[in-house]
Each structure stands twice: as C-alpha cells, then as structure tokens.
Amino acid sequence: MKTKRLVLFASGSGSNVENIVQHFNDRPNVTIAGVLTNKRDAKVLDRCNRLNINGLYFNKNAFQKSDCVLNILKSLQPDLIILAGFLWKIPENLIQNYPNKIVNIHPALLPKYGGKGMYGNHVHQAVKDNSELETGITIHYVNKNYDEGAIIHQAKTAIAPSDSVADIANKVHQLEYEFFPKVIEKLLL
C-alpha cells in the first residue's frame, strides 16, 4: 500500500504535533513529511529536532503574499494538511489547491467560541467567563472563514465551577491527544 503523507502546521508549543508524530511512529504506512511554523522561536521546532522530523519556518510574506509555502507543500506532497495549534488564517491559494485536505483543531465546541482572536487560553477564558458547564474540541475542514468549515468530529468534557483557565486548557488538551490522531488516521486510510 502507498504511504500516506502528513504535513503539520503549528505556531507554538506543538504538544499536539508531538502526540500525532508519536501516534504514527509505529504505523509505517503514514509519513510525517514536515512541520511548518510561522514562528521562528516556536517550541515546536525544538520538538522537530528531538523527533528527527523536518521543521521549517516561514514568514508572513512567504505565507500570504507569494506561492512560497504552496511550493513547499507541493514538494512535500501531503495527502492531508493538519493545523495543530496554527494561528494564522489560511490564504486562498492554499485552500484552492487543497480542497477538503486541510483540517484544523479548535479548542472549543464550535460554532461557539470561534473566529478571529479566539485561540488557546483566550477561548478557555471566554468559556470560564460565561460559566459554561462543558467545553470540548472541534476537528473541522478549513475554508476561507475562520473556524467555519464542515465539522468532522467533536468531543466534550465537563467543567466544574472551581476549574481555572489552566484546568480547562488541560482537559481540552487531553481530549485533543485522545481524538486528533485517531480522526486523522481515519481520514487518511
């Protein structure tokens, strides 16, 4: 069987990237072709070094005003592009070239708590401020609007009134670690 190729985008710590890489480590039919980041000092690049996978940095110009990132993607030949904590809006040229091939994870139950500025702890803070009783994750296809593409999978977790923002973030991360690799595998195979 032909090997499937994954490209991951991340902007920060990259704990989801590491979890996904580890999940596919013992599955030789899936290759992590590369990890791309828009932050020169992102911790995800340290993880790439440690995990022996390609880590590449690009700037705003390369991403938004040229076909530079598109050309990198073409050379990496991904079957699926995964946004694992990636915070920039995906430009048209990438969406047009990879229809239904770009998948994002959002740390809340969309359509609630989505859109510009809603990322990481901003999401968890808003969830706490609204005294929500539950939150969760949404894995969805990417279209040209932030957090509005078709939903692939959601999972929920309960919130206690005493939970801090860090507690909520931790609960959401646990769901991400459990479900994201499995959903990616299902989409790929």
Q: Can you tell me whether residue 5 is helix, strand or coil? A: strand
Residue closer to ligand GAR, measured from CB, 74 or 122: 122
Strand order in the sheet with 80-83: 55-57, 30-37, 4-10, 80-83, 102-106, 134-141, 151-158
Residue closer to ligand GAR, measured from CB, 70 or 126: 126
Verify binding: residue 139, ligand GAR, rule CB under 6 A.
no
122, 125, 80, 71: which is closest to 104 by C-alpha? 80
Q: Can you tell me whether residue 139 is helix, strand or coil? A: strand
Among 7, 8, 10, 76, binds ligand GAR (CB under 6 A): 10
Is 106 one of the catalytic residues?
Answer: yes
Verify binding: residue 13, ligand GAR, rule CB under 6 A.
yes
Residue closer to ligand GAR, measured from CB, 12 or 55: 12
Rounded to whole angstroms, the Cα distance separating 10 from 189 reads: 23
Among 4, 6, 9, 12, binds ligand GAR (CB under 6 A): 12
- Only one of the segments 30-38, 50-58, 151-159, 168-176 lies at the binding site for ligand GAR (rule: CB under 6 A); that segment is 168-176
Token pair listed for 181? 């690799």
Residue closer to ligand GAR, measured from CB, 14 or 78: 14
Among 6, 9, 16, 136, binds ligand GAR (CB under 6 A): 16
CB of 138 to ligand GAR, least distance (A): 9
Among 4, 6, 14, 94, binds ligand GAR (CB under 6 A): 14
What's the Cα-to-Cα distance from 132 to each of 70, 138, 147, rounded to whole Å?
39, 16, 20
Token pair listed for 86? 């990636």
DSSP string, 87-98: -SPPPHHHHHHS
CB 47 within 8 A of CB 14: yes
Contacts (CB under 6 A) with ligand GAR, residues 68-107: 84-85, 105-107
Rounded to whole angstroms, the Cα distance separating 103 from 186 reads: 13
Residues that bind ligand GAR (CB under 6 A): 10, 12-16, 84-85, 105-107, 119-120, 123, 172-173, 176
